[in-house]
Amino acid sequence: MRVRRVDTLDAFEALAPVWHAVATESGQTSPFLSHEWFGCCWRAATPARRPEVLLVEDSAGPVAMVPLVHWTGALHGLPVRFVGMLNAPDTAFADWLIVGRPEPVIEAVLADLASRGDWDVMALNSLPASSLTLKALQAWLPGRHRWQPIRPLSSPYLNTTGTWEEFWKGTSQRFKKTVRNVRNRLAKTGTVSIEEHRAVAPDSPAFADLL
């Protein structure tokens, strides 16, 4: 397998058709894994963060996209050059887009990174627990590279049970007063409409509006 580094925005934009094809064939169609989303992440990167994408190809063509970002920080009080997943503060998760088995892609990517001298530590804490890439890495890394699990990221949320009326009755007077104040302030701003989309395809009008 060959690994090609894409480290300019123009070259990244030119990847759009290939990215869409790999995403579709891999079955990973989340908006957070789309070319458009990573384009937003690329443009939002500060000067201290250097984005790049590793395009992995076999004899038949592209088989993987690995969006990465480089930055400097500290680990145990020592300066460290990190490489991790390209993301933004609003990114729910990030992952490698892989067609077929992840192990050959992992081997090719880590061999390419090992041949470079521009990083010290790889931090992949944006990979979701359900990621096939993460599971393959956990099985492939032992005996090859030093690694350790790090605390996963979590998005806070509130679980409710029963009806809204039952939930509302169980809240405090202070909470009810806060909700009434918010409703009054919203009412003064005019009509507010809310749309809920439970399945958003990367090429849908709803995702275009979001971007």
Q: How many CB atoms lie within 10 A of CB 7?
A: 13
Q: What is the pLDDT of residue 7?
A: 95
Rounded CA-CA distance 7/175 in Å is 49
What single-letter amino acid sits at 95?
D
Residues 4-14: pLDDT tens digits?
Answer: 999 999 999 99
The rounded percent of the chain whose pLDDT value lies above 70 is: 97
Cross-strand pairs, 121: 82
**88 Cβ contact list (under 8 Å, min separation 6):** 40, 41, 44
Mean of the pLDDT values across residues 139-159? 80
Is the pLDDT confidence value at 152 over 70? no
| pLDDT average, residue stretch 48-63 | 96
- Between the two ends of the chain, the Cα-to-Cα distance in Å is 34
Whether pTM > 0.85 for this model: the answer is: no
What is the amino acid identity at position 6? V
Angle at 46 between CA 156 and CA 202, to 5 degrees: 60
Q: Is 18 exposed, middle or buried (0-12, 13-18, 19+ CB in 10 A)?
A: middle
pLDDT at 46 over 70: yes
Position 154 scores a pLDDT of 66
Answer for the pair 101, 142: CB distance below 8 angstroms, yes or no: no
Distance (Å, whole) CA 57 – CA 119: 23
What confidence category does residue 139 fall into, taking pLDDT thresholds of 50, 70 and 90?
A: very high
Q: Are 131 and 95 in contact (CB under 8 A)?
A: yes
- In this predicted structure, the answer to whether residue 95 has a pLDDT above a threshold of 80 is yes
Residue range 28-43, pLDDT digits in tens: 888 899 999 999 999 9
Who's near 105: CB < 8 A, 6+ residues apart? 1, 56, 63, 64, 66, 96, 98
| Residue 92 clears pLDDT 70, i.e. is over it | yes
